[in-house]
């Protein structure tokens, strides 16, 4: 965006000044406070392709009747299950009832054009859930957040229930909460431990989840808990969870040990996922109960808890110095908190493996902790002896494994087929590396290509990776669950699994035509892009997916025009269209640095053929009110 001396012009004089000469409209830009530059405003009209299809389905008449419009929707737009009643309803919505020439339900070419610009009816992808939701959970990609309570960066931002609410309203189904003791008796805070982030109470977070969990989607919300609590506080969590969620809370069943339930079976329910409390593991190796859970914390041994906390959170402070106070404080100097090689290892400690988590003799475990354990529907693990060892088959355990983005990348390069095999039976969660302190994100496609169900993202972050995440989960009506392609869940005749690196033939070719854009005059000020002239827009289109499918294209620059018309078509051969994402970014050309003017990302597998209106979003993923593109999608 260009910057200029504010004294060279007056803002109120530069607002969309228009003078009308005949049927033409102009906008005027003040130069140096003395001279006006005059630019014609081009009104948006139907492109030639729209005029041609209107002629075809109106049989060269001046009006298109409902039966012609119905044929257009079925044959040209590829609509399914549309009826004549639907058609008449659409037409009545578009036709101006005050029009003097209206004698019957019929479209002019301009009416058809206006219909095509309605994004709630004629958007690029389906708006309702349509995937089979009856398979076990590991068959789905799950919209997952990382440190869901943070409002900003990973080191010093505030913790709040507001980002959780926002994520749920966008369809996120995986919410992560880090649980730490508070300074008050029996208090539990949610915060990013051993940083300067401020806390929010667990009660606020749970209450917000209950109130907003199913506003966007009826499918289950999974709360992943990073637990740094004593047994007595774990018991407190159990009480809070059960009292807050009531019948919404899912209690694990014996059958869940072998196989996860389905999203359909878990509709409108909250499920908890975390590591099992150490007390259950230790109870197998002792002959009597530990001391009471209500024993004051200052009488408990600090050494074991400090070591466990260091393992859980990847603390860089040595075990000798990593006392409870050092590890949970949010007021330590930043250098002491982070250490020289700060790295956040996220949740799910390297707990001892347990061959039989369901202990038969309850005399060996505290009853309060038992209540907490029985709420854990999906048990979490982290690689203990390396990622490859953790990917082994473990019959009788329906589990969730968490690995960092670096571990996933290395495993994908060295033994990617083992990841795919693992994700056919278990759930794999991938979290951002700790050095992403500004809440950036990694590229998610490698994880998805290997079947990872939970790609945990900083939803408060920014950037192209987050746009990809938004785009992927526009699939299936934005419900937060996407059925994985069949090839990720199947085996070949020689027990082989999908290999993203394999050379594959082109399965289908996508043609994308960019007609025009509009809405910037309404969503931006007249001088937002250029103080002295209308903007110079161009569109970049890129394909993300397996390496063979990656491509970038761009239109020409349309100078000095708020309503650019490109009429350019691009072709994308695709070997794995099921995992391809179509990115669209509009930029305003500038000599120094191009300005952002809108973006969206669309799952190729969900694209609706035909002429479609494509709404654009800002850098944070928030939809503009008016900015849109008119495009055409076709598969050959």
Find all residues with CB under 8 Å of 366, minimum gap 6, and list them: 231, 235, 279, 289, 290, 293
Query: Rounded to whole angstroms, how far apart are CA atoms 622 and 295?
Result: 49
Q: How far apart are the first and last CA of the chain?
A: 39
DSSP string, 492-524: -TTS----TTS-----EEEEEEEEEEE-HHHHS
- Using alpha carbons, select from 442, 531, 579, 386 the residue that is nearest to residue 5: 531
CA torsion through residues 31, 34, 37, 41, sign? positive
CA-based torsion, 437, 441, 446, 447: positive or negative:
positive
CA angle 506, 509, 513 (to 5 degrees): 155
131, 139, 146, 228: the catalytic one is 146
Residue 82, helix vs strand vs coil = coil
Question: How far is Cα 153 from Cα 440, in angstroms, rounded to an integer?
Answer: 9
**CB count, 10 Å around CB of 594?**
17
Residue 113 in contact with residue 49, Cβ under 8 Å? no
Count of H-run helices and E-run strands, the chain = 20, 22
122 close to 459: Cβ distance less than 8 angstroms? no
The question of whether 192 is a catalytic residue gets the answer yes
Select which of 7, 131, 139, 192 is catalytic.
192
CA torsion sign, 110 to 111 to 116 to 119?
positive
Report the run of H or E that residue 611 belongs to, with start and end: strand 610-617
* Catalytic residue list contains 228: no
Distance CA 276, CA 229 (A): 12
> Which value, to the nearest 10 degrees, does the dihedral of the CA atoms of residues 462, 188, 342, 148 take?
-20
Catalytically active residues are 146, 192
């Amino acid at each position: 965006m260009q910057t200029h001396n504010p004294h060279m012009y007056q803002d109120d004089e530069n607002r969309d000044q228009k003078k009308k000469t005949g049927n033409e409209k102009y906008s005027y830009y003040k130069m140096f406070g003395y001279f006006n530059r005059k630019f014609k405003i081009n009104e948006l009209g139907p492109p030639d392709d729209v005029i041609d299809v209107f002629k075809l389905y109106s049989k060269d008449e001046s009006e298109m009747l409902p039966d012609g419009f119905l044929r257009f929707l079925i044959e040209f737009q590829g609509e399914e299950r549309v009826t004549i009643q639907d058609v008449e309803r659409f037409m009545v919505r578009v036709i101006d009832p005050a029009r003097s020439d209206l004698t019957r339900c019929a479209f002019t070419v301009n009416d058809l054009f206006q219909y095509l610009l309605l994004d709630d009816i004629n958007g690029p992808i389906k708006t309702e859930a349509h995937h089979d939701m009856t398979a076990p959970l590991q068959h789905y990609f799950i919209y997952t957040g990382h440190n869901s309570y943070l409002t900003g960066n990973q080191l010093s931002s505030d913790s709040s229930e507001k980002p959780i609410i926002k994520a749920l309203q966008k369809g996120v189904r995986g919410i992560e909460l880090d649980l730490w003791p508070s300074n008050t008796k029996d208090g539990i805070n949610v915060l990013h431990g051993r940083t300067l982030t401020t806390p929010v109470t667990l009660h606020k977070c749970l209450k917000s989840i209950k109130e907003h969990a199913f506003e966007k989607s009826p499918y289950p919300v999974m709360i992943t808990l990073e637990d740094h609590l004593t047994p007595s506080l774990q018991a407190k969590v159990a009480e809070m969870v059960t009292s807050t969620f009531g019948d919404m809370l899912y209690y694990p069943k014996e059958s869940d040990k072998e196989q996860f339930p389905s999203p359909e079976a878990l509709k409108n329910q909250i499920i908890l996922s975390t590591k099992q409390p150490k007390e259950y593991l230790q109870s197998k190796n002792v002959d009597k109960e530990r001391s009471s859970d209500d024993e004051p914390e200052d009488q408990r041994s600090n050494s074991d808890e400090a070591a466990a906390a260091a393992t859980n959170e990847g603390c860089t402070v040595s075990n000798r110095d990593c006392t409870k106070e050092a590890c949970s404080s949010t007021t330590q100097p930043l250098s002491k908190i982070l250490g020289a090689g700060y790295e956040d290892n996220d949740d799910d400690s390297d707990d001892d493996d347990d061959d039989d988590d369901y202990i038969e003799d309850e005399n060996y475990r505290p009853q309060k902790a038992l209540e907490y354990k029985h709420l854990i529907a999906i048990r979490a693990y982290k690689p203990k002896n390396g990622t490859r060892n953790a990917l082994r088959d473990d019959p009788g355990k329906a589990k969730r494994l968490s690995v960092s983005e670096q571990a996933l990348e290395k495993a994908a390069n060295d033994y990617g087929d083992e990841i795919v095999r693992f994700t056919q039976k278990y759930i794999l969660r991938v979290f951002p590396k700790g050095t992403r302190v500004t809440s950036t994100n990694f590229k998610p496609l490698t994880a998805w290509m290997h079947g990872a169900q939970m790609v945990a993202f900083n939803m408060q972050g920014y950037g192209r990776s987050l746009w990809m995440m938004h785009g992927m989960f526009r699939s299936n009506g934005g419900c937060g669950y996407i059925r994985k392609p069949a090839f990720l869940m199947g085996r070949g005749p020689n027990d082989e699994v999908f290999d993203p690196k394999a050379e594959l033939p082109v399965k289908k070719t996508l043609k994308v035509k960019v007609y025009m854009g509009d809405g910037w005059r309404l969503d931006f000020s007249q001088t937002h892009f250029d103080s002295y002239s209308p903007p110079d827009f161009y569109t970049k289109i890129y394909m993300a997916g397996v390496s063979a499918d990656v491509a970038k294209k761009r239109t020409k620059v349309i100078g000095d025009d708020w309503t650019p018309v490109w009429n350019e078509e691009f072709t994308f051969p695709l070997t794995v269209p099921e995992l391809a994402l179509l990115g669209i970014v509009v930029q305003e050309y500038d000599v120094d640095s191009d300005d952002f003017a809108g973006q969206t990302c669309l799952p190729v597998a969900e694209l609706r053929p035909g002429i479609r209106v494509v709404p654009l979003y800002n850098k944070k993923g928030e939809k503009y009110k008016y900015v849109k593109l008119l495009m055409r999608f076709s598969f050959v």
